[in-house]
Every structure is written in C-alpha cells, then in structure tokens.
Amino acid sequence: MIQLRDIGKEFPGVRALAGVSLSIAAGEVLGLVGENGAGKSTLIKILGGAYPAGSFDGEVVVGGRPQAFRSTRDARRAGIAVVHQELSLVPEMSVTDNLMLGREPTRLGVVDAIEAEARAIEILARVAGDLAAGIDVSAPAGRLGVGMQQVIEIARALGDQLEPATLVVLDEPTAALTTAESTRLFELVRARRAAGAAFVYISHHLDEILALTDRVAVLRDGQLVAVKQTATTCREELIELMTGSDGGPEVGRGPGRGPGRDLGPAGDPVLEVRELCVRHPALDRNVVDGLSFTVRAGEVVALAGAMGAGRTATLSALFGLARGDVTGTIVVDGTAVRVREPRDAIAAGLALVPEDRKGLGLVLGMSVADNLGLPALERQASWGLIDGARAERAAGAAVKELRIKAPGLGAEVATLSGGNQQKVVIGKWLALAPRVLLLDEPTRGVDVGAKAEIYRLIEELTGRGHGVVLASSDLPEIVRLADRVLVLRDGRLAGELSRGAVTPLAIMTLALGAAIREGEGS
C-alpha cells in the first residue's frame, strides 16, 4: 500500500495542490484525471521524488512507513517508478544497455556483456512475456517503435531485481502509440496487475481510463474532488467532476466576450488557415493534422484541447517556430504568405505571445524599454542607428497604455512581476499593429489584477479590428473571451463551438472524445 497524505504544494502566487490524500493498493490500477492545470503533474512529481521532502506539505507513506524522498532515486529505491510521456531511454544504446543501465553485471571489474544480455532477455520474458517476442536486445533502442520502447521502460521498472518497482506511474502513455501498440500496452498492464503490481494511469482519453482502471481519482483546481469506482461511473460523470459544471449556462462572469453578450457581426477574414499539418520532429506522425479555420477582424478564436492536442504546435507553425516540417496554406488579409521563420510571420502581420514568456518572449537581462522596442528596431533606426528618444517615447507610451508597473524604463525586465512581464511581451507588438495576435496561455502565472488588464487589452485590440487566436487551458478564460472555440484532439479538429454553446462541459466533452449531450454544442 502506498499512500499520499494531505499533500499540498505552492508555487509563487499559485496553490497547485491542497490537502490531497490518496491510496494505491497492490494489484490496482488507479486512474488520475483532471483538466490541464488541475495538479496531476505536481502530484506525480511529489510521488516520484522530483519535488523533495520539505518542498511540499503532507507525506508519502510506503508500506506504512513515511518517506522523505530527496530525489527520484530515493523514490525508485522505495519501489516507485514514473514512466513519463517523453521516454527516458537512450536511443543510441542497445536494449540490453538500457535495461541494465546503472546495474550492469561485471566480472573482474569489466562489464560482462554476455551476462547482461542474458539478464535483459530474462527480464523482458518475465515482465512482458509474448509482447517482447522478437525484440533484438542487442539493437539500439531507438530503432524500436514507441510502443516497444514503452514496454522496455516498464520492464526496466518492474524487472529490476535490486530495486523492483511496486508502483509504476504511467503519464499519458498512449500519446504517441498506434492502436495496436496501445492494445499491447494494456495487455502488459493487466498482466502485471494480476501479478500484484500497482499502477497510476494518467490520461486525457477517458475511454482508456474506463477500460483499464479499478478506481478513478479526479482532481480539480489542485483539490481531490472525488474517487470513483470505475465500474459505477461513466464518461459524463467524470467530465462534470473535472469541470465542476453540469453544462448549464455560465453565470456571474461579469462583462466579457463570452455567451450572453452580443458583439455584432465580425468583419472580413484576417487569417485563413487551410490544411495545416505539422510533423512530429522525431516520431512518424503529425502533431497537427489537416487543421483549417478562419479568424475575422474583431474576433477571438480560441484553441482548446487536452495537453498534446496541438494548440501550441499550431501557433508555433503560424509564427515560423515549428519543430517539425509544416505544410498547408496561411492567408493574411486575402494574401497567401509563406512563413519559414518569425521574420516572415511578423512581415505578414502576425505576432506571437509564447507560452514560455521568460524563455521565448523576453530577454531578461535587458531593460523594459529595450524589450518593448525589440520588434520595432528597424522602424526606430535612422542611418543604422537607433533613435533613442523615439524608442523611449514608444516604450513610455506602451507602459502607460498597458499600465505596466516598473521602477522605470531602464529597469531590468527580470525584476518585474510575472503579470507585468507578460504585459511587456504583449506590449512589444503594439507598435507594429499586427493584424492577428497569437496568444499562447497569455494569463498563466499572473495575478488576478494582471489577468483583468490582459483581458481588457484583448477586448480593446479586437475592438480596433485585430484578430486574436487564443490557445488556453483555462476554460473560464475561454468562455469569457472567445467568439468561437475550436476544440482539438490528437492534432485534429474535434469540433467547433459558437458563442452561445461555449461551456466548460461542452469543451471538455469534445476534447476527451465524448458525445455532447443534446443542446450543449454545435
């Protein structure tokens, strides 16, 4: 028995978990579900030792004994292994070397390759059985399909004779698997459960949760709202628990762009995307697969969906930052444009506020004024030299318009609060008057006041005729701001919701692959 007792975790300005208590018994598969940001990742990082004891409230108890993990290694010694969505195998190394990594058999101080290979074959046969048939343990692990690599990860966790895992956490394990590979993975989980192993299974695919688990724990806003017996629950109940909504009309939102406010007809198309495809940089699949949509002047079009659905990949492709090959057509104000790099996107009238504002949106060591002026350097230059007075006036105007709180224009942007940093990221584009603003999680990690200011700015920009594409995991934010919502699932359009039909329940129902109840969507 492994227990999580009264687990709490705070980040600056955010309560990620509050009083979460769970138990996982031997021979059980516990499903863990919740919206993006519900606290799932934080919880498994605590369980797996990624967040050391002392950095969170509560305790992890294994076999009746409280633990004080200082690292993932400590958790591993206690029998807890986490298999992340991004696999940790070394692709250039052989299957044997990956299985034996850190515990290689030696003879006279030298790795015994024959014994290592024999042990690798034995582990695969014992843990994976027929699923491992035909695996060449001397071949590089990277040559295997993702499904087989996942089997090797699980075999490494469960087959370790020195530190065998009694609990394996599977984080979105089928995200990159084919249907056949997923079926083989389920067979392995069921077989190991029958042998006494325990699993925590995290997935946005509720059909997998309902087919594989014994119980389902539901997180919402960092709290455990329910633990349901899988046999007595259903997809609709889980979605309602995850969203805190029964699909009824939204109330108490205050003024905004969501349902209930008539904004009048949108203008002409400012952005048209046709059959956009983005190839995964390493795997044989598309992360965005044939996506088409239109954004009109004065309109906010939201991209919603579970983690990995393709929201960020779509915005990155439109701005020339995609990690994989991109095909499709992008049309801005009626003219087809070719976007190979951000310079092309900016010239076409597109601007991106990235999800990672510190890594991609700001130069932290530079001043507020310098960050605000970066995209417009050419406009502020004369004979190859920056017109300092002109740049300062433009920066001062942006600070005033966006109500950026800073000691001065010369202050390092790194010293600002998260909300004011985000305002700088948005503000640097205003001088260019982009036709379409691409916003990726624009209010993540900002306080309530800054969020309200960002909402005000979005409404002002659309009021001036700009188009906005909003990618967000904050469902109330989407409900408040969006004129239309495109719900993505596995890189494809799962459905579109118009203004009057946008509710958290309707969005999550499409995102998770359930049928919308009559009257919920369009």
DSSP 385-409: EE-HHHHHHHHHHHHHHHT---S-T
Q: Rounded mean pLDDT of 86-95?
A: 81
Triad 103, 106, 111: Cα angle to 5°: 90
> Mean pLDDT, to the nearest integer, of 227-256?
70
Q: In this structure, are 278 and 391 located in the same domain? A: yes
Nearest residue to 512 (alpha-carbon basis) of 190, 149, 234: 234
252, part of any domain? no
Q: Which residue has the higher pLDDT, 513 or 254?
A: 513
Report the pLDDT value the prediction gives residue 515, as an integer from 0 to 100: 42
pLDDT tens, residue by residue, 305-326:
887 788 999 999 999 998 889 9
Is 37 contained in some domain?
yes
User: Are 39 and 81 found together in one domain?
Assistant: yes
pLDDT score recorded for residue 282: 73
- Asked whether residue 248 carries a pLDDT value surpassing 50, the answer given is no
CATH number at residue 91: 3.40.50.300
Do 358 and 449 fall into the same domain? yes
- What's the average model confidence in pLDDT over 510-519? 58
Instruction: Answer whether residue 518 is part of any domain.
Output: no
Identify whether 6 is part of a domain: yes
* Domain contains 248: no
- 443 & 383 share domain: yes
The answer on 292 and 222 residing in a single domain is no
217 and 352 part of one domain: no
User: With bands split at pLDDT 50, 70 and 90, how would you rate the model's confidence at 216?
Assistant: very high
List CB contacts of 281: < 8 A, sequence separation 6 or more: 323, 324
List the one residue out of 394, 398, 402 whose CA is nearest residue 455. Answer: 402
Same domain, 375 and 424: yes
Residue 99 falls inside a structural domain: yes
Instruction: Please tell me which residue, 248 or 50, carries the higher pLDDT value.
Output: 50
- Within-domain flag for 254: no
Do 278 and 158 share a domain, yes or no? no
228 and 369 co-located in one domain: no
Same domain, 481 and 364: yes
Whether residue 254 is predicted with pLDDT greater than 50 in this model: the reply is no
* Structural domain boundaries, residue 450: 269-511
Residue 290 has pLDDT above 70, yes or no: yes
pLDDT of residue 348: 93
| pLDDT score of 328 | 94
Q: What is the pTM of this model?
A: 0.63
Count of structural domains, the chain: 2
Q: CA torsion sign, 344 to 345 to 347 to 353? A: negative
How do residues 434-458 score in pLDDT, each as one tens digit?
899 999 988 876 666 677 888 888 9
- 385: pLDDT confidence band, cut at 50, 70 and 90? low
On whether both 496 and 422 belong to a single domain, the answer is yes
- Least Cα distance to 76 among 50, 105, 43 occurs for 50
Mean pLDDT of 72-92: 83
Whether residue 255 is contained in a domain is answered as no
- Both 135 and 222 in a single domain? yes
φ, ψ dihedrals at 83, nearest 5° = -105, 105
Residue 265 has pLDDT above 70, yes or no: no
Q: Which of 208, 243, 278 is the last residue of a domain?
A: 243
